[in-house]
Every structure is written in structure tokens, then in C-alpha cells.
Amino acid sequence: MAAITLLEAIRQGLWEEMERDKDVFLLGEDIGVYGGAFKVTEGFIDKFGAERVIDTPISETAIVGAACGAAMMGMRPVAEMQFIDFISCCFDMLTNYAAKSRYRQGIGIPIVVRGPSGGGVHAGPFHSQNVESFFLNTPGLKMVEPSTPYDAKGLIKAAIRDDDPVLFFEHKLLYRNPKIKQEVPADDYIVPIGKAAVRREGKDLSVITYGAMVYTALDAAERLQQEGIDVEVIDLRTLQPFDREAVSETVKKTSKVIILHEATKTGGMAGELTAVINEEVFEYLDGPVTRVTSIDTPVPYAPPLEEFFLPQVDDLLKAARSLAAY
């Protein structure tokens, strides 16, 4: 097995699912002839043809609307947002149609809406967002964000096979990061939606996170180990439904928890996780649940401002030292 990037893992997962199931097709802006803005679908149109790799107009609402209609007719569309920020254009189609279809009429909408998310690449406020909290309050939508190539391939395959809508977030900072290359099996496999992973065992303090922040947490954990603070790192992988059992188990184990995410603080994943921890395992806590997130502003364009905006290793170190001493 050769070590591959996260981007290549997604490519492989899409390719294999299209070979496995003729009902799987792709649609999005510039995904065919051009191969996608990040080249995730490069070469797909040559293999599968223009009927299964469809270049669309610049209309996210039309892309997701067409995907929903095709899904209701038995197809399994994978819709690409060129940048995940523009998923806001199809908010109504996702929240009022796709997410409610099974509840309303007993018909699943097996679509995947995927695209690059996250900051750190100086792309400004319209190409750097993390949009998970927009959809966290919508029953019927699943949300996934892998941090490793192995998970990226296994989760995209699981998402395509799911009988309900899945939003698949791909942190663009991880796409071609050589440091996270990983050997991925050639055999067919999936990573189950809804299951977290323990990325680092620890006994003193837990960091619950996902996406690119997994590596921020791991870097901080290595430095804290030298100070005698043993940190456990939990990678949620699936944001909705998140793995409540894994969250509860790490709280019971360490009794001190930091929730780390790149999205802004107010109304974010961290608030919901904190509420669940308080409701289900409060008696195990030896300190307040602590949030380390971006600040409540749009994502800045200027590199120094973006660095200030995003959670850094030093921000996590400061929070961890304070919580460990609580």
C-alpha cells in the first residue's frame, strides 16, 4: 500500500463507488472537463462520461435541487460545492426538503453534498468558513469531517451508501498535506458514520475535536506531555450524529475536557457538546468544560489576522494548563 494524501483518498472513494454502483453520479461546477477547483475529480469524466460527471451552472441551489430530484428517482448523487461556504445558497433545499423528506413522506434522499471547508490558507471570508453549526439544528442531516486519508476514503464511501442526506466537509488545509499521508487499503471498506476515534490515549485531560484541529490538539498534547500533563485526543469524525458514548467515556476517564474547533464560538459544536456532557456525565467532571475556538468575526483575509482568528497550539496550551491546575 502506498501512502496517499487526504485528497487522493477522497478521489479513490468516489471512483470506487462509481465503479461499484451505476446509480452514483457527480455534479458540480467545473468538476468535469476541468476536474474540479482542487482537482478532486480530475479524470473522472474520461472514465465515466459526461452523463455521470456533470458540469453545472454556477447555482448551488440548482445543483442540490437537481440532486434531490435524482435521489428521489433512485439515483445516488454526489454534489460538490466548489467551496463549502456557498452551501448557504441551498440552505432551504437542504433543511426544508432533503432533511425532512423521510419524516414527511417516508422517502429518503440519499445525496452527499461535499466540498472544501476551513481556513488557514488566506482565502478570505467567503472561502474559509466552517459551516457545521448552520446545520446542527436540522434533524435529518448527517455531517462528517474526516481528518485522515483512511477516514476520508471510508467515510465518503459510507456517506454515498447512506440512504439519507450527508454533508461531507473536507478541510482544504489537509488536502495535500504531506505530513498526514497514510497507507489506505485497496480492499473495499467503510468507516461507520457516527463513530469517533481516539487519536491519543491520555489520563489527565481530554481534548475533543475534529478536522484540521486534530493535529493542533496532537501537537499541543506532545508539548504538554513534557510538562507532566497526559492528554487524550478524541476525533469526532462525525459531527451529526456525534458519538455520545465516546464523549462520555473520555469524560469518565480524565474528568477534565476541552472542546476545540475551528468554527466560531457562539452557537458552535462546542456548546452542544458541553450541554450533553453536563446532562449525561456531570458528576465525573473535576473542572469546567472549556471551549477553544475561533473568535466571533468573519474569517480575516490578512495572514496575521487570520492567524489571530484561528485557534493556535499556544491557545490550547494556555487553556489546558489552566484546566489541569483547576
Question: Would you please indicate which residues are annotated as catalytic (active-site) residues?
Answer: 127
Q: Residue 241 and residue 89: Cα distance in Å, rounded?
A: 24
Q: How far is CA 278 from CA 57, 259, 289, 290, in A?
A: 46, 13, 9, 12
Q: Residue 205 and residue 323: Cα distance in Å, rounded?
A: 8
CB contact at 8 A, 277 and 251: yes
What DSSP line would sit under 124-150, residue for residue?
Answer: -TTS----HHHHTT-TT-EEE---SHH
Structure-block grid coordinates of residue 57: 451552472
Structure-block grid coordinates of residue 313: 497550539
Residue type, 203: K
| Placement of cell 460545492 in the chain | 81
Give the chain's end-to-end CA distance (angstroms, integer): 46
Q: Of 29, 111, 100, give the one whose Cα is nearest residue 64.
A: 111
